[in-house]
Amino acid sequence: MKQIVLSMLIVLGLFLKPAEAQESVELEAVIAGQIAAFKADDFEKAFEFASPNIQGMFRTPENFGAMVRNGYPMVWRPGRVEFLEAREIAGRLWQKVLITDEKGALHLLDYQMIEGEDGWRINAVQVLEAPELTA
């Protein structure tokens, strides 16, 4: 009986892992797409990756771009981007991202992601306490 239960858990695990992996790939693609748009100064495209909540708050791609340039320069002009773990906190999905800026300083950010009818969107970004190392 224990072997049957263990076998069932393994089989279920095999089915669940690909879905989680696919979700992680989708989250990373949204964040990477927005960062690529910022690097190209394409604020209209970057604005498309923001949730309706964020879009309503900033109203225009230009306002949104100015906020990112001034408040999140490491996102506007990153040197290197590394995706860390995605996790659920209080029913919300968060993706941790380690960004090395152009000067080599490390910045740890947490992206809150929400899923809408048209896919995943960025709903918030928090700057976490950064590691003390430089790249």
Mean pLDDT of the chain: 86
pTM of the predicted model as reported, rounded to 2 decimal places? 0.80
Convert 23-32 to b/e letters by CB count within 10 Å (16 or more is b). beeebbebbe
- The pLDDT tens digits for 47-83 are 999 999 999 999 999 999 999 999 999 999 999 999 9
Reference 66, options 95, 46, 80; nearest CA is 46
CATH class of the domain defined by 2-128: alpha beta
Q: What is the pLDDT of residues 25-54, one digit of tens each?
A: 899 999 999 999 999 999 999 999 999 999
* CA 125/CA 113 separation, integer angstroms: 9
* pLDDT tens by residue, 87-109: 999 999 999 999 999 999 999 99
